[in-house]
A and B are shown apart, each in its own frame.
Chain A
Amino acid sequence: EAQVTQNPRYLITVTGKKLTVTCSQNMNHEYMSWYRQDPGLGLRQIYYSMNVEVTDKGDVPEGYKVSRKEKRNFPLILESPSPNQTSLYFCASRPSIGPTETQYFGPGTRLLVL
């Protein structure tokens, strides 16, 4: 089944404890991105990647890192999480950067930083 998977789905952590949220897609998509969803703010892009080893900042990149060593994986790293990073995170992918392509979303990771 074609899908985007994320792990973990739920995570509670403490301030400063490094964490990684994994994202994987099995559709051979070139473009992947991370969003955070906060009430009243919709989805805001954190980072995106147009292909392997090509990543760039989105609208809210502060406090996050990403890597794209393989086409299928795009992990999101929080080196030193803070409470303002408590949010719902979505990974997404699409076949290419073509503007009419449909974006496919993962199930989301709900993060609570204490």
Chain B
Amino acid sequence: LAKTTQPISMDSYEGQEVNITCSHNNIATNDYITWYQQFPSQGPRFIIQGYKTKVTNEVASLFIPADRKSSTLSLPRVSLSDTAVYYCLVGPNDYKLSFGAGTTVTVRA
């Protein structure tokens, strides 16, 4: 499974856009990029998944450049409730997930 690198932590303020970039230089042809969110004492929650270009849903956008060696999760207008750990995962779409340490995003008032 491809290794990912993402910042350990990020701070933001309510109403701002948060962009988390993940590096995955060894991504394979059949790998997808998936992001999960996790609050303390809860299971991870699926946010978004993409293969290439841009994907948008009601929660976030995922930007993937043509070489697919990195990706950026964009959270628009964050609120205090978006404070969580965000995980970037790369791998086949129907296989075990390989989590790193994630990025702890702290949103302040």
A binds B: no
B interface residues, Cβ below 8 angstroms from A: none
